[in-house]
Amino acid sequence: MASIKVTDKDFQSVIQSDKPVLVDFWAAWCGPCVMMAPVLEELSEEESEHLTVAKLNVDENPRTASAYGIMSIPTMMVFKNGKPIQQLVGFMPKQVLRGRLKGVL
């Protein structure tokens, strides 16, 4: 399953899941965000049984980004049952990301 796009409007309903949800806070003008996109798409495909990957454009959805104190992008937050359980900042190769998500996957 490919990643899903979320907005300020549907963010809360998306993160209310028994399955962990990794939210990528990103923007189109952000070089590291663009580099991170294919890594997250691959992870989304490979781990679809264990993890939902969602993308939130911070320029189009500033309310949610502000509510979670997003100061740098890309920032990836993992939510479980609506609560943030992990935060990762910056570009990282897929194997590094997998290692950091080991307790979640």
The residues annotated with a catalytic role in the active site are 30, 33
What amino acid is encoded at 68 in this protein? Y
Sorted by sequence, the CB contacts under 8 Å of residue 32 that are 6+ apart come out as: 73, 74, 90, 91
Give the integer Cα–Cα distance in Å for 26 and 37. 9
